[in-house]
Structures are given as structure tokens and as C-alpha cells.
Amino acid sequence: MPCDAAARLAHSLCRTEGIPLVGGGGTDLRSGFAKALAARPAPDAVVVLTDGQTPWPDTRPACRTVVGLFARERTGGSWDEEDPEYLPEPPPDWARVVVIESGPGAGG
């Protein structure tokens, strides 16, 4: 399900084509996790694709969690143009993290 400040409609996923991604900034994945975990039937896994600039749930979900973390280039040495000291919180220890690189040789 697409999630920025709020989670949107959940879609069953059987293949990668046709995944509707909608966002507008202000990401808060806590709402996405809450909506995904409330779905029936309950998910076997939650897969998150993010740049990491989000608050994370405080507790481990009842299912496996995989985070596809997009590596981002910092602009002017910072993740946030308005706060040069800002660094996003890393994903929680309970999540399996896969860093998605971009650039030469990474397909992006």
C-alpha cells in the first residue's frame, strides 16, 4: 500500500508489475504498518520501500519485515536542506534491511 503521512488502500501483490505508488512527502510508516497489520487475512510479511526518512514502529510486527532502503545522495552534506545536522533514524533491528543502491552498475 502506498504510504506517506497516511496509509492508502492495500493491494494484494503477486508480481511486481502494476504496483500503484503514490506519495507526497511527510512519510510516517507507523500508519502504513498499522494498516498492513490490520488487514485480513493478516500478512505473512511486510515489505517496505523507503528512503528511511520516517518514524518507525516501536514494536516488532507479528510478521517478517523487509525494508528496501534506497541509498540517497546527500544534498550539500545533509539529508534535509533546512537542517544540516539531520540524519534519518536507521530501520529498527527487527527489520531485515536491503540497501538499494543507484548509480553506475546498480541499474539506477
46/23: higher pLDDT: 46
99/72: higher pLDDT: 99
Q: What is the mean pLDDT of residues 4-33?
A: 70
pLDDT of residue 26: 76
In this model, does residue 75 exceed pLDDT 60?
Answer: no
> What is the b/e burial string over 42-74, where b = at least 16 CB atoms within 10 angstroms of the residue's CB?
ebeebebebebbbebbeeebeeebebebeeeee
